[in-house]
Amino acid sequence: MTTIFHNRDMKRYTESHESGRAFIGDGMEVKRKADIPMGALWTPNKVGGSINTVYKADVRESASVAHIYGQNLVAVESMTSYGSPWAWSPESLKPTADMELANGTNLFVQSVSVHSRGIIYYQA
């Protein structure tokens, strides 16, 4: 896949398993040939929510792949929410972003809207 993308002047971001997907395999192996290894982290519920440790492991796994295989970017699908997605403020999203940075992320990828299918990239 990576070669096909490169032949078209494209880059490959690769996520493997997030938190709850059934995945039999080595996530590091899945991500190692990507141009940019990527994890995913869903924003927890506002009331008493805490970030699932499996999500933290996905972010750390992506950072480990980048470190081991000499890549300088670690992306994460960041601050994705469910329930009331428009109810979040930058202040309430900051703990999620801080955790991602602390675990090795340096490129935030946000799915802006299901209606526009837009993606925004922020590099730390």
Among candidate residues 96, 98, 26, the one with its CA nearest the CA of residue 64: 26
Q: Nearest CA to 32 among 8, 50, 6, 14?
A: 14
26-35, 97-106, 110-119: the lowest-pLDDT one: 110-119
Select the more confidently predicted residue: 66 or 84: 66
pLDDT of residue 121: 55
Whole-Å CA distances, 42 to 4, 7, 14, 104? 30, 33, 17, 16
pLDDT digit string, tens, across residues 21-62: 656 778 888 888 889 999 888 776 665 566 666 678 888 999
- pTM value is 0.77
